[in-house]
Structure 1
Amino acid sequence: MENKDITSNDKAVLTRIFNPNLPYGDIFEGNENAMEVEEVETEAVKQAKSLETEGVKQAEAGHIEEALNSFNKAISVAPKHASSYNNRAQALRLQGDVAGALQDLNTAIELSGGHGKVACQAYTQRGLIKRLEEDDEGAIEDLKKAACLGSQFARDLVVSMNPYAAMCNQMLSEVIGKLRSGEGELPVV
């Protein structure tokens, strides 16, 4: 069967099989290829990537100020390179500058056009920040966008934030468990 023959009902069934914890009605229509957006690899972008790598290592070592300096240099070298803003947002968040982190995440999403790996990461980070700020509606919106870009973590988080869906999934799991153990019957429709 070719992809063009797959109906929306087929997709829903496959999604239910491969993502049993996903609430009904929250099918994420994502493009698995949307994770990769090509960027022109100029000398400035290469230098920015090198500075980012240095900044990530510094942040992992707990040297947040040094990491921020590396990310700032990366941004000054290649101001249109979305990844540098995304990485700096993480360092800013670790430093407690949530407003600065949100500003950088917005810039990363804008520069990436809302597509690709960087946008996926930025939407996830922004969704987590919104969740911490008790903006569940905004968090779910961003996490759904990240899920559509391929983030399984974001999908799982959206499911966990929907108590009604969690309750329905729990009831469905109990029914299936009873059917498997022979304690129940399928209803006649």
Structure 2
Amino acid sequence: MATEHDRAVLQTIFSPTTPFGDVPGLNQAEDLRDDDSGFDAEVLEQVKDLELQGVMAAESGDVHTALERFSQAIKVLPQRASAYNNRAQTRRLQGDTAGALEDLERAITLSGGAGRSACQALVQRGLLLRLMCRDEEARADFERAAALGSEFARQQAVLLNPYAALCNRMLSEVINKLRNPDIPETQGS
């Protein structure tokens, strides 16, 4: 059976763009959840049902209905982050980036930067910021989401870190030379 160190070495060899020791699943938070304990149980159940209806509508391509359900959930329980996060994703599908960013800001604020909704909102906002060429802000969001357990965010943060990118490129070149010693080095690499 492989040790944790063995898995980290293998991960580095086969995925040189991830940091050393970053074995998928090894550092992830166990079952990340939102703290819904402060909400009335009946109201919370109603809101969760509306969100589920919204998710199902979005998955079936009915983005308009999805937006309505998430907005209804927000109206019923405006202090819960999850519906803002879901509505942000729906707004993004509609091309409403500004509205999506507003909802993500609200989700992050309401969640206190902790829990599943915060992690998802930070990843979504990081992706939007990256699309807007605001890489430093995106990297900060990815780092925060990675700290909450998102493997995807951890990989994005590494890709946006200029020092890590340089080290990863050099490591990839070394590994490629080891794998293919007969291929001559090209000029300008």
Q: Say which SS state the counterpart of residue 120 (structure 1) adopts.
A: helix
Gaps of 5+ in 2: 183-189
Structural mapping, 1:59-70, within 5 Å: 59-70=58-69
Moved more, 154-163 or 81-90: 154-163
Q: Which of residues 22, 36, 48 is equivalent to 1:39?
A: 36
Structure 2 partner of 1:153: 152
Q: Give the count of matched residue pairs.
A: 168
Tell me which residue corresponds to 1:22.
Answer: 18
Give the Å deviation of 1:53. Answer: 0.6
- TM (normalized to structure 1)? 0.76
Report if the CA contact (8 A) 1:130-1:138 is conserved. Answer: yes
Residues of 2 paired with 1:54 and 1:48: CA distance?
10
Structure 1 runs of 4+ with >4 Å offset: 13-19, 176-183
Q: Shift in Å at residue 172 of structure 1?
A: 2.5
Superposition pairs of residues 1-189 of structure 1, within 5 angstroms: 17=9, 20=12, 21-23=17-19, 32-33=29-30, 35-40=32-37, 42-175=41-174
Distance change (3 Å), C-alpha of 1:61 and 1:31 = closer
In structure 2, the CA distance between the partners of 1:181 and 1:93, relative to structure 1 (3 Å rule), is closer
CA contact (8 A) 1:35 1:115 kept: no
Q: Larger deviation: 123-132 or 155-164?
A: 155-164
Structure 1: state its 5+ residue gaps: 1-12, 184-189
Q: 1:175: how far off?
A: 3.7
Residue range with higher mean Cα deviation, 172-181 or 146-155: 172-181
Q: Which amino acid is 2:18 matched to? A: L
Amino acid at match of 2:151: Q
TM-score by length of 2: 0.76
CA drift at 1:97: 1.2
Contact kept, 8 Å, 2:142 with 2:156, in 1: the verdict is yes
Moved more, 163-172 or 71-80: 163-172
1:63/1:31 CA distance change after superposition, 3 Å: closer
Cα shift readout 1:108-132 (whole Å, capped 9, x = no counterpart) = 1111110011100000000000011
